[in-house]
């Protein structure tokens, strides 16, 4: 028997098939062949059509079943990971009212700021553990204010993973962890923050049914089976945002170890057992996948919108064959990129910069001195510097960085990026050959084994390599301090 795991990002969907007894990965596929587009009808906006996500689910499922020759009847469970903080609105017939407003959309920043003033910092700190910010709740408020006709048609709202589960099952459901990532969870009362919806004049009925993160949630319906090729009745056993899921995949469940990703966005995700909030604005606090009322496990997440998205943009502008060539070009340039600095913040408002949109830029460019290799190295260093800047914020709140764990993909495949990050923080980086889709599939095992036994069976699995910090890190620090000094003037 087997489990299928989906990891829905903003650029693609990864689908994994694992053995349900051992957790061994059979294969991982990616759809579509070209990256999904993001629509920006106005500056700062970022939207996607949820129907495209569903098309990817159907294509990815049929592709993986065909590739492995596994019968639909042999699939005993489904796990779902998904891009966080998005908003999908549905009408009474289950149709999308408007395009999804996704994670890097900046339109609701002012709404979050205004709501913080109305509620007061103490209530947000004690009950939401976050300011409303530019998250799902504030995006829903934006629809209510700016598109009242669309809001009137809205029967319920989803996060992106909830929408995928809905298309599979026909059930309108979400999770407590998901609501917390949308800033719609009351940590003090242990229930949805209905009072926030009422503050905006919204009905409680907008919130879907809440199901557990691990364990039975719903099952594939007849229409879901017809579309995907799955067996009707196949259970959905797990659902989590991509960053909590990435941490789970890397066995980051306790304080002291931090999970990182360097994909479209850059993310640092650590665990705390304390409900106390030292930083309300620049990073966020969500219910982690292993949180229980009796045993607090709260994820601290810092997101850098402009990370891999910037490196991809640079690849598209340069006449290069791909990322491998860019990394080779970067290796020809010394630490510090001969004075060229890169600021990769061009993908919407950056929370760690107090929700500013400062854009992306190069600084110190000299036409007679710098070439493609300098641009590539400066970009990798600039993204690593942004990670280090975020680490300093999180360290200041009391979160330790003993070890960083990351999947061996995207930016973490670059020696320059990993070496720079390890050197600046004098932090060990452990790399694993695993993806979020595999983690989502393996999470289905928790229903049968329980979380503790699951961890015992899978701890250390997929380990690939360790990047140790260089002892002589002076050149890295000098370059970073120059970068940081210029950033603070922006």
Residue 438 lies in a domain: no
Of the residues 216, 245, 274, the one at which a domain ends: 245
**How many domains is the chain partitioned into structurally?**
2
Residue 439 lies in a domain: no
**Distance of alpha carbon 487 from alpha carbon 405, whole angstroms:** 27
459's tokens:
């701890």
Number of neighbours of residue 337 by Cβ within 10 angstroms: 25
Domain range for 357 is: 251-433+460-490
Task: Return the closest-CA partner of residue 178 out of 165, 162, 167.
Answer: 162
pLDDT at residue number 281: 79
pLDDT at residue number 298: 94
Residue 294 lies in a domain: yes
Please state the separation of Cα 180 from the chain's center in Å.
14
Residues 147 and 233 in one domain: yes
- The torsion angle over the Cα atoms of residues 176, 178, 180 and 185, rounded to 10 degrees, is -50
pLDDT at residue number 447: 94
Task: Return the closest-CA partner of residue 172 out of 217, 129, 214, 204.
Answer: 217
Residues 146 and 279 in one domain: no
DSSP string, 80-134: EEE-SS-BEEE-TTS-BSS-EE-TT--TTHHHHHHHHHHH-HHHIIIIISS--TT
pLDDT at residue number 193: 98
> What average pLDDT values come out for the chain (490 residues) when binned by 10 residues?
96 96 94 91 95 98 97 98 97 97 93 96 93 94 98 98 98 98 95 98 98 97 98 98 95 92 91 83 91 92 91 94 96 97 92 89 97 98 97 87 90 96 95 95 96 88 94 95 96
CATH value at residue 292: 3.30.420.40
pLDDT at residue number 261: 92
Of the residues 245, 260, 289, the one at which a domain ends: 245
The answer to whether 165 touches 171, Cβ cutoff 8 Å, is: yes
Three-state DSSP class for 318? coil
Residue 139 lies in a domain: yes
Residue 449 lies in a domain: no
Give me the helices (H) in 128-175, please: 136-146, 148-153, 160-169
Residues 197 and 257 in one domain: no
Of the residues 208, 226, 245, the one at which a domain ends: 245
Give whole-number Cα distances, 411 to 65, 147, 195, 271, 414, in Å.
30, 38, 41, 23, 6
Give whole-number Cα distances, 79 to 2, 300, 481, 489, in Å.
11, 23, 43, 45
Task: Return the closest-CA partner of residue 80 out of 10, 3, 159, 165.
Answer: 165
| Residue in this structure with the two tokens 């408002």, named with its chain if needed | 349
């Amino acid at each position: 028997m087997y489990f299928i795991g989906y990891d829905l990002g903003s650029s693609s969907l990864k689908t994994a098939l694992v053995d349900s007894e051992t957790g061994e990965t059979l294969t991982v596929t990616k759809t579509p062949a070209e990256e999904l587009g993001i629509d920006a009808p106005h500056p700062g906006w970022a939207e996607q059509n949820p129907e495209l996500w569903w098309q990817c689910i159907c294509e990815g499922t049929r592709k993986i079943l065909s590739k492995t020759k596994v019968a639909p009847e042999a699939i005993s469970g489904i796990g779902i990971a998904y891009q966080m903080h998005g908003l999908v609105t549905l009408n009474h017939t289950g149709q999308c009212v408007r395009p999804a407003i996704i994670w890097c959309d900046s339109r609701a920043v002012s709404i979050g700021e205004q709501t913080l003033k109305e509620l007061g910092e103490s209530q947000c700190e004690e009950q939401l553990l976050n300011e409303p910010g530019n998250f799902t709740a504030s995006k829903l408020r934006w629809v209510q204010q700016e598109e009242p006709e669309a809001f009137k048609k809205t029967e319920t709202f989803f996060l992106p993973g909830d929408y995928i589960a809905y298309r599979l099952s026909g059930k309108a459901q979400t999770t407590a962890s998901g609501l917390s990532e949308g800033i719609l969870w009351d940590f003090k009362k242990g229930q949805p923050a209905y009072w926030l919806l009422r503050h905006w004049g919204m009905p409680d009925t907008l919130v879907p049914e809440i199901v557990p993160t691990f364990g039975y949630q719903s099952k594939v319906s007849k229409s879901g089976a017809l579309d995907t090729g799955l067996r009707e009745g196949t259970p959905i056993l797990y659902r989590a945002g991509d960053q909590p899921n990435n941490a789970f995949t890397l066995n980051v469940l306790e304080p002291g170890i931090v999970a990182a990703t360097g994909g479209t966005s850059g993310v640092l995700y650590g665990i705390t057992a304390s409900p106390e909030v030292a930083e309300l604005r620049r990073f966020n606090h969500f219910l982690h996948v292993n949180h229980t009322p009796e045993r607090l496990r709260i994820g601290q997440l810092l997101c850098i919108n402009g990370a891999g998205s910037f490196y991809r943009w640079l690849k598209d502008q340069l006449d290069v064959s791909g990322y491998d060539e860019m990394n080779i070009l970067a290796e020809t340039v010394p630490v510090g990129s001969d004075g060229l600095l890169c600021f990769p913040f061009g993908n919407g408002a950056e929370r760690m910069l107090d929700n500013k949109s400062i854009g992306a830029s190069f600084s110190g460019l000299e036409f007679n001195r710098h070439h493609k290799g300098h641009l590539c190295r400066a970009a990798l260093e600039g993204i690593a510097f942004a990670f280090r800047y975020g680490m300093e914020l999180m360290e200041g709140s009391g979160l330790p960085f003993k070890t960083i764990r990351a999947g061996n993909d995207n930016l973490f495949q670059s020696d320059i990026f990993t070496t720079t990050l390890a050197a600046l923080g004098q932090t060990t980086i452990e790399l694993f050959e695993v993806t979020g889709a595999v983690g989502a599939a393996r999470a289905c095992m928790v229903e049968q084994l329980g979380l503790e036994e699951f961890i015992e069976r899978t701890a250390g699995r997929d380990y690939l390599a360790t990047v140790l910090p260089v002892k002589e890190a002076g050149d890295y620090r000098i370059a970073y301090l120059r970068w940081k000094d210029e950033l603070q003037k922006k």
